[in-house]
Structure 1
């Protein structure tokens, strides 16, 4: 039934798209080439997903298939909006023609006006915009790494940490990578920031620990800042989106994923905390396991904070930003800064600084990208280092976050 619905939608969209092609070109060879390409893509997508192996999980082949599906379907859906709108007008005109011709003349020759060529041209022009965007996102956008900087002011920040620089990365999803040179470039970009501490907020793989085998040496090149590297797990790190032959096999994969963090010199915090000390003062780094409002709730904030006093300055690592919305921001213990990821900003949206920011993910997550502040409690949602499901990024670029902590109030 699921495939029947998908195929029905695809054929409906293709019917309208083919009408646009026919209106613009009467050349049968052009029309045949269009049909062959469209059916070929549909066959490839159906074959790939019909043979999806739930014991393996996402692969480069399934990523490629989803990319092709979106690359062809999204622009054509834009095209359908124009063509369907014209059809509504044509039906209304046909009804008017029928009633007036029948009533006055009895001339029932032709009621439905022809499809207008310029509408098809406008529709194809509009469809070309998302097509170009998706194409750029697949080949360029997914590795268009950006360094996003924030300066945050706190009255109760220990004086020794005035000017302290935190680097954050999130959602590596190593199983999706297909360009070693681009990942090497991103690692160099992280190193160039010369931060005081590096914090990673989960999802190191898509599912399997072996996805990182070819990338251990690359990520091990990330310099160890003066005050270390800390990390937490994300929802994908628990191996819960594939079928396992046994619980023992699943547990072994989970342990191997945790071991990856040690191999690349990160201190993995599993509902635990650590202190960073500087000039006789300290701040706490607290790491919870994944806690998502709609995902796995393995995080235990109480357990993670056992070593921390209420007066300590706290930086919390929690993969899913819904944790901040539903538990952290109103917690009796004041968590000054929470770092999350998870959403990827949907890998699709529009961001024009100071003017506009939109993504479909905002209808699911209240906090989905960037810095948020409520009553002096901050949350940063990193847009992610890697990509997943769709092999690209459109308008929402991969992010390395640099946060500078300052003591005192922000000055105008």
Structure 2
């Protein structure tokens, strides 16, 4: 193994030791002991590289190399430091250790940049401990609402506010931007899907992040005897559910890629073998890169669901609780990344992200782009999450070359 690859493996093992769990994964939740330990350890590592390191009010960590120009413009990289429960060794933290290694290699090869280069270890993205997501990136721009978290608790009844204070952090004092000097942001991340691996490609250049609409749907029919209630007299909610799923999936397939539609959860009552089900709750998740297509398709499905329920004399309640627009990446920065791949003979693919990332919060406010590396078998949020070290290195080299073009 080359020295560069060994360095990747070493720092990957190092950061994964913070929050390593008994099931072979990493569980590092917001404002936990392991979360605080890794943020402090990263601060020390940033400082050893010659960075000016600091925490903001809520616990985002910043490490900055001051450029040789006037120091007023900064190019940033990074990702989130928190994990899901029993997660893997790459989601989120690859963007931190990859950014660190890219900056380290730049300094070793070219010395200090003209513009500042900053790495950001974001406090939280996953929502794994408390029912709130993007706490880190939303606070950077002053768009996190105090009222949304001041009364929430984790699964053990620990209040969000108490956990935050225990770690020495507090609410942001105002809604000002914490990084007003940042002119571009590039996030390195694993794909969390299998497209790159299936196509044998090492780097994905992300053109945009999909929009998402998520639903909770309730059906109210009539529970009745499974043996004595004739089919024509039933108000069977599973029959309605089955028809909705079948017809909706067929419509989604006709629309084609990149539309995806998922019915991921179904709860039926009374949920027993000899009773016609009278109540059901199920979820629907729909994603697309084009807002117009996403809205048109989901609105058609909503009407289909109402019609299907009505035909079976079943009541329906549709709650669209998430409605996130697609977020395009900055074309100038994606061009920089694409040119970096070409210059370094790295095989790449222009693609979209089907999952959410901190970049979708940052992109509407700062020119942003993303770099993906393959996920073996497409596995993520799992101890088996992995990427070949050679592909990790190609991602880091692509990030390094992109930061060079933007900051040197």
When the two structures are superposed, what TM-score results if normalisation uses the length of structure 2?
0.24
Greater share of residues in helix? 1
Name the larger-Rg structure: 1
